[in-house]
Amino acid sequence: MGVTVIDAHEEFGWLAKYGPFYDVSCVTFARSLSPREALTRLGADCNGIGEVTFEEHQERTMRYIDSDNMLTSYVGALEMNGWTVLIQLWTGSIGLNRLLLRSLSRATEVVSISRNLHATDYFVYAVDSEEVTSFDQLVPDRRWGSDPDRLVNEMREVGLAWEGPGIDAPFPRSFALAKKITGLSFSEDMLSTPFLGAAIRD
């Protein structure tokens, strides 16, 4: 029996609960780049890249928020099955910064999911420095990019369709869509894995 639209996003329900990803966050997937390569493409100082736990990631993020009024964000990166997963909390968004997105997706592909409880949540898919498909998670019929309909079938499969009533759980469903592209399930267990972390300028 195949996975239904109803349960396609349930494994990502933890992201919508109150916690570090609930308020403002950005999770980005970059294919065929090591964590160090990805961080360097984002402008991180090679000498400033080091191993951190998820708890240390949060502490350093808060330190930068307090010290320079959110001009710098701290990014944690880990590698899994041919992709690097990059995490930003409470400040910054790789997917919404065109310069960072172009640099990170050069000669590869990138999926970025941005969450901002106080503004708008976005899904961004880029290939070789080109924004291919992007949309507001609450209004997925308003898409833009060089090929805005590229992911239409996959969007429907995970319940990000725009017919009928409003979309339930768009944030977890966006991670289900990312899984369709990357084959990765972004799980809470991944947060217990050591990261490479570094500061970048937004």
pLDDT by residue (tens digit) across 14-53? 998 878 999 999 999 999 999 999 999 999 999 999 999 9
Give me the number of domains the chain comprises.
Answer: 1
- Position 166 confidence tier, pLDDT thresholds 50, 70, 90: low
Structural domain of 60: 10-201
Residue 95 exposure: Cα atoms within 13 Å on the Cβ side = 31
- Indicate whether 162 belongs to any domain: yes
- Indicate whether 61 belongs to any domain: yes
Average of pLDDT values for 156-165? 78
- Indicate whether 60 belongs to any domain: yes
Q: Tell me: the pLDDT tens digits for 58-117?
A: 999 999 988 887 788 999 999 999 999 999 999 889 999 999 999 999 999 999 999 998
Q: What pLDDT is attached to residue 1? A: 44
Q: Is 44 exposed, middle or buried (0-12, 13-18, 19+ CB in 10 A)?
A: buried
- Indicate whether 5 belongs to any domain: no
- Indicate whether 2 belongs to any domain: no
- Indicate whether 3 belongs to any domain: no
Which residues 6+ apart lie within 8 Å of 66 measured at CB?
A: none
Q: For residues 200 and 175, give the distance between their C-alpha atoms in angstroms, rounded to a whole number.
A: 24
| pLDDT > 50? residue 160 | yes
- Position 164 confidence tier, pLDDT thresholds 50, 70, 90: low
Q: For residues 104 and 29, give the distance between their C-alpha atoms in angstroms, rounded to a whole number.
A: 10
Please name the residue ranges forming H helices in 3-151. 35-41, 54-68, 98-105
- Indicate whether 1 belongs to any domain: no
pTM of the model: 0.93
- Indicate whether 4 belongs to any domain: no
